[in-house]
């Protein structure tokens, strides 16, 4: 088979895995196999330099759990862009540990014992896809999370409220006191100058994005780990900086790298967009699986919404844009101004988030999700429905 050259690295002391993978790759053209029959710590430092040279890296996790995470972290940090990292773990590895590994950037965790059922076919599927240069979906499993952008037609229309509360609901918390989240969710506040997500979600503002802009560095997993804060509701937040910086300081490549990285570690990446049409929102529009445009139905807002839709579509014609009418209850019978709005927008409103001063004020003042103030309030229910529909049409990663 012709195609792109691909390199696979295996670090495992397990004789059986070693010979199975070496054997299955030996017959493949354009495929280079490198193996170390040892543990990561056994190969003593060379694991990291080898990782940086390979498209696919399989490594055996250490039994000692602190060491396991440390090793995984150093391997993920050393990866080439787009390299796929697979951890081979004992069959009884607790789910929590598997999640932690994925959070660090490991793409998949496979049971060491399922050599012929899982490991070999998975490596083979990656190799075939990579050589054909197909997108990063392999073995029928989606390995990347979904990017959902939230935009607004005017200031103060309620888009950050929608973004923050949708993010909370996307976690799909289950169990006693709804403490356990089924999905990993991140929110990135790209309203660089006027961001309000930190306050809404009760995390500290952070200067990380400001430093990134000033250093002109490309953010990696280590940067994100340090820059993101976990909100009390469980969502990981990349807050806007607390000091002012010029909008033009951020570069499209930096935003692209943030999204690439977060899609690997989270099921949903919610982006609160600024209203400004800056160059670096292009990667968001290119990577977004959906964009919610929040507007009210007043004429000036609807006109801006129309212009934004045209701009977004000129950047990405395939972008799925859905309209959210904020501060309005869904009318039983559309009034003349509703009909005029729909006509101008050439699109119906998909969701209506009613004005709900009391619940929203308490949620904003306390820095807790609407759900924690009242799960029956109209605004809570409206945003929950939006999140439930999002999850149904854009499912989370498989095996996350």
Ligand X SMILES: Nc1ncnc2c1ncn2[C@@H]1O[C@H](COP(=O)(O)OP(=O)(O)OP(=O)(O)O)[C@@H](O)[C@H]1O
Q: Which is nearer to ligand X, 48 or 199 (CB)?
A: 199
165 binds Mg ion (CB under 5 A): no
- Measure the N-to-C terminal CA separation of the chain; round to a whole number of Å: 32
Q: Which is nearer to ligand X, 86 or 197 (CB)?
A: 197
Q: State CA 193 to chain mean position distance.
A: 22
Beta bridge partners of 180: 174
295 binds Mg ion (CB under 5 A): no
**Binder to ligand X among 36, 102, 127, 152 (CB under 6 A)?**
152
161 binds ligand X (CB under 6 A): yes
Q: Name the one range near ligand X by CB under 6 A: 48-56, 80-88, 159-167, 245-253.
A: 159-167
On the 0-12 / 13-18 / 19+ scale of CB atoms within 10 A, 185 is buried
**Binder to ligand X among 356, 380, 386, 397 (CB under 6 A)?**
356
What is the Cα–Cα distance from 76 to 57, expressed in whole angstroms? 9
Q: What is the dihedral of CA 355, 358, 359, 362, to 10 degrees?
A: 130
* Residue 301's binding partner out of ligand X, Mg ion, none, with CB under 5 to 8 Å set by partner kind: none
Task: Name residue, tokens 């400004």.
Answer: 276
360 binds ligand X (CB under 6 A): yes
**Binder to ligand X among 7, 168, 196, 265 (CB under 6 A)?**
196
**Binder to ligand X among 353, 377, 386, 387 (CB under 6 A)?**
353
Question: The sheet that has 290-295: what strands, in order across it?
Answer: 229-230, 236-238, 185-189, 268-272, 146-152, 290-295, 321-326, 349-353
300 binds ligand X (CB under 6 A): no
Contact 107, 57 (CB under 8 A): no
| 3-state SS class at 312 | helix
Give me the least distance between CB of 291 and ligand X, in Å please.
14
**Binder to ligand X among 364, 374, 381, 385 (CB under 6 A)?**
364
Q: State CA 318 to chain mean position distance.
A: 20
71 binds Mg ion (CB under 5 A): no
**Binder to Mg ion among 160, 171, 221, 390 (CB under 5 A)?**
160
Give the binding site for ligand X (CB under 6 A).
Answer: 152, 155-161, 191, 194, 196, 326-327, 353, 355-357, 360, 364, 379
């Amino acid at each position: 088979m012709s195609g792109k050259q691909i390199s696979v690295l295996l670090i495992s002391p397990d004789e059986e895995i070693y010979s199975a993978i070496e054997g299955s790759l030996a017959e493949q053209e354009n495929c280079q196999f490198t193996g170390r029959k040892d543990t990561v710590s056994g190969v003593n430092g060379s694991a990291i330099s080898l990782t940086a040279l390979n498209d696919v890296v399989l490594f055996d996790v250490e039994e000692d759990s602190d060491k396991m995470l440390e090793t995984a972290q150093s391997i993920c940090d050393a990866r080439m862009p787009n390299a796929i990292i697979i951890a081979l773990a004992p069959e009884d590895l607790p789910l929590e540990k598997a999640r932690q590994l994925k959070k660090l950037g490991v793409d998949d965790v496979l049971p060491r014992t399922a050599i012929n059922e899982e490991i070999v076919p998975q490596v083979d599927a990656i190799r075939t896809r990579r050589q054909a240069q197909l997108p990063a979906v392999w073995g029928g499993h989606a390995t990347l999370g979904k990017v959902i952008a939230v935009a607004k037609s005017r200031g103060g229309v309620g888009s950050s409220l929608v973004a923050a509360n949708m993010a909370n609901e996307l976690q799909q918390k289950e169990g006693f006191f709804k403490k356990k989240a089924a999905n990993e969710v991140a929110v990135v506040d790209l309203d660089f100058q006027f961001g309000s997500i930190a306050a809404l979600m009760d995390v500290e503002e952070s200067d990380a994005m400001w430093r990134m802009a000033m250093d002109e560095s490309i953010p990696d997993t280590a940067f994100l780990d340090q820059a993101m804060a976990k909100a009390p509701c469980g969502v990981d937040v990349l807050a806007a900086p607390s000091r002012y910086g010029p909008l033009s300081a951020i570069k499209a490549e930096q935003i692209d790298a943030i999204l690439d990285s977060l899609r690997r570690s989270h099921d949903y990446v919610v982006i609160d967009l600024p209203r400004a049409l800056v160059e670096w929102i292009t990667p968001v529009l290119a990577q977004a699986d959906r964009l919610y445009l929040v507007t009210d139905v007043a004429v000036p807002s609807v006109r801006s919404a129309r212009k934004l839709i045209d701009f977004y579509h000129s950047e990405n014609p395939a972008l799925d844009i859905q309209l959210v009418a904020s501060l309005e209850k869904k009318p039983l019978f559309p009034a003349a101004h509703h009909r005029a709005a729909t006509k101008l927008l050439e699109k119906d409103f998909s969701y209506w988030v009613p004005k709900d001063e009391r619940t929203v004020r308490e949620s904003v003042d306390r820095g807790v999700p609407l759900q924690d103030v009242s799960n029956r309030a109209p605004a809570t229910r409206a945003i929950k429905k939006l999140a439930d529909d999002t999850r149904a049409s854009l499912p989370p990663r498989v095996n996350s």
